[in-house]
Amino acid sequence: MVELYPWVDLHPDLQLHAIYSDAVLEPARIILADFRIEAARAARLVTAGPEALDALEAELRFNCEHVVPQPRCNSFRGNIPYFDFADFPDLEVLRDQCGRRESDRFEPEAGKGPVARATFYFLLRYPDRVEVDELPAEWLAVLLDWHEQFPPGDYERHRNAAVFARQGNRNPLVDHPEWASSIDFTDGLTSHRR
């Protein structure tokens, strides 16, 4: 985890950017915080043993979001589905530039293209892990619109290459955005709970 921020999530300005708000975050500060957490975890594992790993992960969390660090926006969104509000961002329901949230809908202030491609990648890479009722067709349509409106830029291309160098896998929609319109992403959804 600690090694992701120095390289994988750097933007062209050599800073980290929060996915939902695009707030600029200093990499050194985030890296140092994560090193401290890693050291605290290691020290506690020595005394508590490996069976305490789940508890340590809950107690000593890394400062990370889906794509880059900034958990306050992640907490603000929770697991509320993405949505495109017609009057956004004109309303006052914004929180620290995270986006607009209503009881059952969320539109991020920034990061719509990367969020769409990350969601589509998850559906392609891990089919049958998301229920149809958790991501119905109209929400997939919103993500497809975001994918098309906000094409991959230097940040995503760099991140895709860096992840490939580390893990050996790529998001094909970053390399070939034109493929998204011919993929039926509902094929990756499941209609029943396991």
**Is 74 in the same domain as 115?**
no
Residue 94 lies in a domain: no
Structural domain that includes position 3: 1-79
Return the exposure string of 77-92: e unless at least 16 CB atoms fall within 10 Å of the residue's CB, then b: beeeebbebeeeeeee
Residue 38 lies in a domain: yes
Distance CA(51)–CA(59), nearest Å, equals: 14
Number of neighbours of residue 164 by Cβ within 10 angstroms:
13
Predicted local distance difference test score (pLDDT) of residue 88: 65
Q: How far is CA 139 from CA 114, 163, 174, in A?
A: 15, 27, 20
Residues 98-149: tens digit of each pLDDT: 887 887 888 888 889 999 999 999 999 988 888 887 788 888 999 999 999 9
DSSP code for 57: H
- Cβ–Cβ under 8 Å, residues 108 and 84: no
**Is 188 in the same domain as 133?**
yes
When divided into structural domains, the chain yields a total of 2
Residue 85 lies in a domain: no
Residue 86 lies in a domain: no
Residue 99 lies in a domain: no
Number of neighbours of residue 63 by Cβ within 10 angstroms:
17
**Is 64 in the same domain as 122?**
no
- At 189 the three-state DSSP class reads strand
pTM of the model: 0.75
Distance CA(153)–CA(160), nearest Å, equals: 11
Residue 96 lies in a domain: no
DSSP H or E stretch at residue 175:
helix 172-175
**Is 153 in the same domain as 74?**
no
**Is 56 in the same domain as 118?**
no
Domain finish residue from 55, 79, 103: 79
Domain finish residue from 62, 79, 96: 79
Residue 174 lies in a domain: yes
Residues 38-87: tens digit of each pLDDT: 888 888 888 887 777 778 777 776 655 444 334 667 767 777 778 888 77
**Is 68 in the same domain as 129?**
no
